[in-house]
């Protein structure tokens, strides 16, 4: 899903909506490539391509082979954190932290669409949020959250020297992280995030004459933050600088779009936003970060909108489709029943770490999802998932459709209805809250079943705040998809459509 050019000289922000946090970007000629965190989801580390920094197309995932799945013991919101994507000496390099399953590792590729190499462990590099930068001598410096740095041999993964602390941001600011190091002109710039990844998130920068400093902070830090404001984009941080072919600069960064009343709930996860950058007295000045940005001066290259419907007619799944931790071929296939997605259950519900689930990120504040589900040989349906303890589902089995709501320790059956035997169209609408709920719920999640005449029958309308990061915690956002909880479930088609506010 990508932004499209608006007719009045603006482009919409975020440029990659939905659960696409911690963006890292590099330019090769006139092409831009971007990678994001994926946490417990597999395939992992989505990779995007753009010709203009505004319109993006997903071209693959770095972790896309079954042997690269995450162990079942990796909890939700652990797993794959904060990649840095760079191009050097004709190869793409991506360094990332696998939290709970291996620490920092390096991948390389000649084509960012893949295939990517097997992971090279970096056993001497502690911490999270690793960055890559090469000096004039060809030495590679890896800088991590904290902020500390060491030279590393990328052929072996071993350190070439001790780790040493660098500038760690504003005095007393929490969580100095997401470092990125750049050579720009005669200076080395160290860009970091600080203030925590919640409402206090911010971007700060320092500069020095060598990649190891010493660094002097920008006198106007933070160069970007929305803390303490009513702006619609919040939690702004974890940024990466990139230069356009015309010499201008931009910042890609994460942010959220909270809704509802106090404290505000964000449900889509942390998304990828774009902000213009100018330079004054050798320091970057970040322009306005708004939901509508002035169109950039360089040519725009709109791309086709991502399809809203998947009929599962291909040999495999599009890279946008996600599973939880793993996707065994014997449990998830499009080849067993041609034209259908077949799911064989493992875990008994979405509460289980081995739940068989195939979904896509919710990328719009409001949307409609429909799917034709055949659960005559099993039990399953559609779900909106945040983690194992926070999900809503509409489930078919034995001629009955039921709605469940998992909220923390509770998992009540909310509603049920008898349906004719055979495949049934299940639906989920994410809709605006009623006006009388404007100070509370960010949205409503409506779950139901479609009648033979096409009319949608809601079975339950559930408060959306319980599927938000502010309630559930963690670092992810909603993913909507199909699952199997018992036996075999087939899905003929899956349709996701954005919905207007009214």
* Torsion of the alpha carbons at 469, 473, 478 and 483, rounded to the nearest 10: -160
Q: Is the separation of the CB atoms in 130 and 79 below 8 Å?
A: no
pLDDT band at 438 (very low <50, low <70, confident <90, very high): low
pLDDT of amino acid 172? 81
**pLDDT at residue 439 tops 80:** no
Structurally, how many domains does the chain consist of? 2
% of the chain at pLDDT higher than 70 = 97
Q: Is residue 300 part of a domain?
A: no
Q: Is residue 481 part of a domain?
A: yes
Is residue 38 located within the same domain as residue 155?
yes
Q: How far, in Å, CA of 80 to CA of 34, rounded?
A: 15
Is residue 317 located within the same domain as residue 403?
yes
Is residue 339 located within the same domain as residue 480?
yes
Q: Hey, which residues are catalytic here?
A: 22, 177
Domain that holds residue 240: 10-294
Q: Is residue 3 part of a domain?
A: no
pLDDT of amino acid 436? 72
Is residue 313 located within the same domain as residue 290?
no
**pLDDT at residue 7 tops 80:** no
pLDDT of amino acid 102? 86
Question: What is the phi/psi pair of residue 350, to 5°?
Answer: -70, -5
Is residue 41 located within the same domain as residue 189?
yes
359-406 residue pLDDT tens: 999 999 999 999 999 999 999 999 999 999 999 999 999 999 999 999
Is residue 91 located within the same domain as residue 60?
yes
71: domain CATH number is 2.115.10.20
458: domain CATH number is 2.60.120.200
Q: What are the strands, taking DSSP E only, across 432-478?
A: 444-450, 456-463
Record the pTM: 0.96
Look up tokens 């949307």; give the residue. Answer: 367
315-343 residue pLDDT tens: 999 999 999 999 999 999 999 999 999 99
Among 259, 294, 329, give the residue marking a domain's end. Answer: 294
| Of 173, 249, 167, 197, the residue nearest 82 (C-alpha) | 197
| Of 266, 463, 494, the residue nearest 368 (C-alpha) | 494
Is residue 209 located within the same domain as residue 235?
yes
233-256 residue pLDDT tens: 999 999 999 999 889 999 999 999
Q: How far, in Å, CA of 14 to CA of 3, rounded?
A: 8
Is residue 287 located within the same domain as residue 313?
no
């Amino acid at each position: 899903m990508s932004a499209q050019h608006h007719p009045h000289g603006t482009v919409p922000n975020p440029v990659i909506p939905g659960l696409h946090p911690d963006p890292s970007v590099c330019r090769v000629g006139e092409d831009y490539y971007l990678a994001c965190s994926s946490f417990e989801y597999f395939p992992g580390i989505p990779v995007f391509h753009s010709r203009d920094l505004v319109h993006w197309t997903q071209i693959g995932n770095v972790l896309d082979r079954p042997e690269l799945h995450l162990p079942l013991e990796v909890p939700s919101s652990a797993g794959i954190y904060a990649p840095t994507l760079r191009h050097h000496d004709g190869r793409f390099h991506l360094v990332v932290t696998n939290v709970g399953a291996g620490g920092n590792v390096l991948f390389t590729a000649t084509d960012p669409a893949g295939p990517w190499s097997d992971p090279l462990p970096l056993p001497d590099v502690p911490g999270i949020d690793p960055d890559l930068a090469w000096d004039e001598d060809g030495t590679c410096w890896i800088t991590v959250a904290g902020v500390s740095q060491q030279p590393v041999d990328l052929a072996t993964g071993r350190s070439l020297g001790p780790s040493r602390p660098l500038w760690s941001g504003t005095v007393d600011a929490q969580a100095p992280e997401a470092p990125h190091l750049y050579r720009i002109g005669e200076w080395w710039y160290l860009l970091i995030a600080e203030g925590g990844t919640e409402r206090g998130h911010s971007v700060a920068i320092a500069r020095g004459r060598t990649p190891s400093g010493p660094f002097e902070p920008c006198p106007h830090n933070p160069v970007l933050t929305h803390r303490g404001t009513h702006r619609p984009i919040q939690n702004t941080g974890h940024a990466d600088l990139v230069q356009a072919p015309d010499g201008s600069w931009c910042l890609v960064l994460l942010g959220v779009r909270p809704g509802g009343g106090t404290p505000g709930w964000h449900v889509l996860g942390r998304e990828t936003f774009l902000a213009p950058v100018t330079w004054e007295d050798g320091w970057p000045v970040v322009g306005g970060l708004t939901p509508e940005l002035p169109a950039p001066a360089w040519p725009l290259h709109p791309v086709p909108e991502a399809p809203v419907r998947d009929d599962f007619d291909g040999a495999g799944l599009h890279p946008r489709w996600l599973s939880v931790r793993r996707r065994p071929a014997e449990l998830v296939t499009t080849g067993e029943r041609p034209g259908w997605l077949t799911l064989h259950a493992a875990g008994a519900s979405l509460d289980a770490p081995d739940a068989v689930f195939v979904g896509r990120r919710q990328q719009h504040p409001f949307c409609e999802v429909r799917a034709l589900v055949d659960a005559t040989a099993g039990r399953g349906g559609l779900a909106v998932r945040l983690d194992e303890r926070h999900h809503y589902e509409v489930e078919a089995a034995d001629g009955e459709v039921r709605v469940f709501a998992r909220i923390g320790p509770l998992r009540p059956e909310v509603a049920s209805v008898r349906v004719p035997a055979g495949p049934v169209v299940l639906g989920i609408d994410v809709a605006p809250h009623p006006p009388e709920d404007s100070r509370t719920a960010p949205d409503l999640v409506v779950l139901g079943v479609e009648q033979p005449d096409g009319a949608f029958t809601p079975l339950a309308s559930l408060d959306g705040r319980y599927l938000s990061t502010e309630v559930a915690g963690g670092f992810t956002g909603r993913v909507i998809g199909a699952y199997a909880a018992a036996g075999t479930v087939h899905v003929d088609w899956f349709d996701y459509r954005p919905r207007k506010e009214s």
